[in-house]
């Protein structure tokens, strides 16, 4: 190392976390969360098919604070995965790859997620 | 003309001709779920599904039964493709990886079967 003053990768002092990376990670996390939600979805139908007793038990659990937190998290995960999934499909069609477009669509997905989640629980 | 050696052909190596299957199935199920998911969210808002009798009547309506079946199967399919990629990314070692991948498929088919059974049972009026 003849020049200790040279910039060294990964340039941590000037590194800025890109919003597109956040969305990529969130897409995977929300997808895994929704896979767990799929079990709850099947349990919901199964409980209903088992009769009113089982269904009441199911509803009671999801009316508890713990159940409500799970439902809110799953709804947010759904809307994020939904909006970002459409973003991915648009990319698959070949549009929106410019850095500015990708950054803008990332923020747009976050905004849509927030609005749809709030709207869903206000209307529910 | 093929550049493959006779030995590789005999051993059955080379392309399995299904390289894009996973990609394509993931996109198709995604497009289907965009529509089915929207229908499901709107249905949740329009019906008081926490009420047992309301839910049963809603599920038993023919179009709702069909769409719910499609939703359950497509969700499980899309979910199994996604979890498969996550396993392939993070689970190392051939034995553990294969075990996790098989378990993933079994679990998703099981969940889909349970959900489909429940919908059909309610739709055909067999639920208590």
- Contacts within 8 Å (CB) and 24+ apart, B63-70: B65/B119, B65/B120, B65/B122, B65/B123, B67/B36, B67/B39, B67/B40, B68/A45, B68/B115, B68/B119, B69/B116, B69/B119, B69/B120, B70/B32, B70/B36
Min distance B48 CA to chain A CA atoms (Å) = 9
pLDDT, mean over chain B: 94
Question: Which chain A positions have a beta carbon within 8 Å of B45's beta carbon?
Answer: 120, 123-124
The reported pLDDT for the residue numbered B7 is 85
pLDDT at A1 over 60: no
Q: Best residue in A45, A81, A89 to probe B by mutation, most B CBs within 10 Å?
A: A45
Please report, for residues A25, A40, A81, B119, the alpha-carbon distance to residue B86 in angstroms, rounded to integers and kept in the order given.
Answer: 12, 20, 15, 29
Q: Higher model confidence: residue B7 or residue A73?
A: A73
The per-residue pLDDT for range A33-87, each reduced to its tens digit, is: 999 999 999 999 999 999 999 999 999 999 999 999 999 999 999 999 999 999 9
CA distance B45 to B128: 25
**What is the mean pLDDT of the segment spanning B54-82?**
97
| Nearest chain A residue (CA) to B112 | A42
H/E run at residue B43: helix B21-46
The pTM score is 0.90
pLDDT at B79 over 90: yes
Question: Which chain B positions have a beta carbon within 8 Å of A72's beta carbon?
Answer: none
CB contact under 8 A, A56 and B30: no
Q: How many CA atoms lie within 13 A of A108 on its CB side?
A: 13
List all residues 6 or more positions away from B31 whose beta carbon is below 8 Å from its beta carbon: A89
pLDDT, mean over chain A: 94
In 3D space, the residue among B53, B54, B48, B37 whose CA is nearest the CA of residue A123 turns out to be B48
CA distance A62 to A73: 12
Q: State both tokens at A29.
A: 């996390």
The per-residue pLDDT for range B22-45, each reduced to its tens digit, is: 999 999 999 999 999 999 999 999
pLDDT at B14 over 90: no
Using DSSP, state whether B116 is helix, strand or coil. Answer: helix
Chain B touched by A29 (CB under 8 Å): no
| Radius of gyration for the alpha carbons in chain B, expressed in angstroms and rounded | 20
Using DSSP, state whether B17 is helix, strand or coil. Answer: coil
Least confident of A10-14, B53-57, B81-85: A10-14
What is the number of residues in chain B? 128
Identify the residue whose tokens are 């998290």: A73
Q: State both tokens at A54.
A: 């089982």
Of the pLDDT bands very low, low, confident and very high (cuts 50, 70, 90), residue A111 is: very high
Quick one: how far is CA B73 from the chain centroid?
A: 5
């Amino acid at each position: 190392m003849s020049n200790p003053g040279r910039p060294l990768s990964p340039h941590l002092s000037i590194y800025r976390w890109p919003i597109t990376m956040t969305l990529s990670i969130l897409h995977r996390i929300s997808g895994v969360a929704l896979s767990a939600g799929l079990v709850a979805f099947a349990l919901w139908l199964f409980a209903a098919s088992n009769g009113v007793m089982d269904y009441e038990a199911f509803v009671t659990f999801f009316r508890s604070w713990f159940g409500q937190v799970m439902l809110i998290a799953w709804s947010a995960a759904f809307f994020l995965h939904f909006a970002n999934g459409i973003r991915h499909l648009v990319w698959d069609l070949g549009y929106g790859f410019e850095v500015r477009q990708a950054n803008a669509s990332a923020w747009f997905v976050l905004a849509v997620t927030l609005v749809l989640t709030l709207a869903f629980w206000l209307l529910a | 003309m093929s550049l493959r050696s006779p030995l590789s052909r005999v051993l059955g190596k080379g392309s399995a001709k299904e390289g894009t299957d996973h990609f394509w199935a993931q996109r198709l199920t995604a497009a289907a779920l965009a529509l089915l998911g929207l229908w499901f969210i709107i249905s949740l808002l329009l019906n008081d599904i926490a009420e047992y009798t309301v839910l049963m009547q809603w599920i038993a309506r023919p179009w709702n039964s069909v769409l719910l079946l499609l939703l359950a199967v497509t969700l499980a399919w899309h979910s199994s493709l996604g979890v498969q990629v996550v396993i392939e990314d993070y689970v190392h070692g051939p034995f553990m990886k294969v075990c996790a991948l098989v378990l993933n498929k079994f679990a998703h088919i099981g969940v889909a079967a349970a959900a489909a059974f429940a919908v059909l049972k309610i739709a055909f009026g067999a639920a208590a």
